[in-house]
Amino acid sequence: MKTVIITGGSRGIGAAAVRAFCARGDRVAFLYEKEDEKAQAVAAETGAQAVRCDVADEARVTEALSAIPDVDVLINNAGIAHYGLINQITPEQWRRIFAVHVDGAFYCIRAVLPSMLAKQHGCIINVSSMWGQVGASCEVAYSAAKAGLIGLSKSVAKELGSRGVCCNCIAPGFIETAMTKDIKEDNPLLVQVPMRKMGTPEDVANVALFLASPESDYITGETIRVDGGLAI
């Protein structure tokens, strides 16, 4: 049994990961920002511990994660979206997107490192996006923040590999979540997906299970796309 922390665990990919790791028999705690009803439903369904915490708040992250000792796996999944032209993005929106995606991952990694370094073993998984690899028109801030997660992951992998800590990224494409609920079947990008369908949150959770398993112990610094072949 491993101790697993998942951020953004009240819905979508995060909730699917909570279910997957709980089904594997792990001890799971997940962070969520504001959706109490959804979070409590996931906790009641899975037996996971729900912790309300804005990952962009360093003090709150430190407080929340200090109460969860001996962490084996950290999945930084919390994220927010923004759609609009670059000249319409306000500085406040830009900073908030980076605060949640990049600062939040940084705060969480730093909070769990003492326990991972003490036992010379750990797994960090950052949920990026295919847009962090190829960029997306009208999603400049989101794409830039997700690209930042990929760079963060590569650097952490190099810095901590000799200490037994692996760090990898998952880059989902079109996944059936609240963020993609308005995407229609005739979307010009969606029709380019070789597999001709959207992915599910479970598709991403299954990759996280693999990256947190002994079978992936020699994999670090990688970004695995889960996009149906769109970014080939």
Percent of the chain with pLDDT over 70: 97
List, in sequence order, the alpha helices (H) in the chain.
12-23, 36-46, 58-66, 91-98, 104-119, 131-134, 140-160, 201-211
Higher pLDDT, 180 or 48: 48
Tens of pLDDT, residue by residue over 140-165, are 999 999 999 999 999 999 999 999 99
Q: How far does the chain reach from its first CA to its final CA, in angstroms?
A: 36
Percent of the chain with pLDDT over 90: 90
Q: How confident is the model at residue 191 (pLDDT cuts 50, 70, 90)?
A: confident
> What's the confidence (pLDDT) of residue 163?
98
The answer to whether 170 and 204 have CB atoms below 8 angstroms apart is yes
Mean pLDDT for the chain? 95
Q: Quick one: 25 exposed, middle or buried, by C-beta within 10 A (0-12, 13-18, 19+)? A: exposed
Q: Calculate mean pLDDT across residues 170-186.
A: 79
Tens of pLDDT, residue by residue over 33-92, are 999 999 999 999 999 999 999 999 999 999 999 999 999 999 999 999 989 999 999 999
Which residues form the catalytic set? 142
> What's the confidence (pLDDT) of residue 182?
66
Residues 6+ apart with CB under 8 A from 94: 141
> What's the confidence (pLDDT) of residue 190?
77
Q: How confident is the model at residue 196 (pLDDT cuts 50, 70, 90)?
A: confident
> What's the confidence (pLDDT) of residue 169?
98
Tens of pLDDT, residue by residue over 125-137, are 999 999 999 999 9
